[in-house]
Amino acid sequence: MTGPSESAWFALLIAPRSLTRVEDYIQRVGYVSFMPRTKCMSKRPNRSRVRTTRRTQSAYVAVVVTAPLLPRYLFVQLPAVETPFGVFGTLQARIAGIQSFIGTGAGPLRIPDLAVERLKSREADGEFDATTRRGRRLVAKAASWMTPGAAVRIGTGPFAELDALLEELIGADRAKVSVSMFGQSTMVDTDIKHLLRV
């Protein structure tokens, strides 16, 4: 039996580009919420670009951004004695952007406390951080599936759309892959951001 002070986690589906606003509102009205975040590299327009006589600086610059790990989903802790649909209806009426609870026709599904705590722990341990330090700068980290022997496809560049075998990771952002061309295997050095999982 659930005691009066007990609460349970539920997941909300949020409309696109509304996650931060909904999270702020839910916390303001007194409910606990959790949105796991990841840190990753992104390209942004280089606004400080200058043209020189030799060459033009890149039109884009790599920046580190923090983004939701599960876009459009927000975990909310609600008192278990309240009817989640009633709370949901109240929240949905007061702020635009909440689309639904994650659940079935019988009602919203409870998310086990342990699952949410594991997500919090993994986020705190940096498991969702897709960047790594290389000297003074941050660069993209190789994905966990990128291990020697993994089958990959080269996504861009002169070898685009060719299947390859990952032979070796070089530092934090480059890899050697073996590409089969003209009946023989050729080693290619490429940036890991060009590799796709097969």
What are the structural domain ranges in the chain?
7-133, 142-197
| pTM given for the model | 0.61
CATH class (in words) of the domain with range 7-133? alpha beta
CATH class (in words) of the domain with range 142-197? mainly beta
DSSP state of 36: -
Both tokens assigned to 55: 């060459």
pLDDT tens-place values along the chain, 198 residues long: 344 458 889 999 999 989 889 999 999 989 999 999 988 767 777 766 555 545 555 566 667 778 888 888 999 998 765 566 677 777 777 888 888 888 887 778 889 999 999 999 988 888 777 776 666 666 666 666 678 888 888 887 777 888 888 898 887 678 889 888 767 788 888 888 788 877
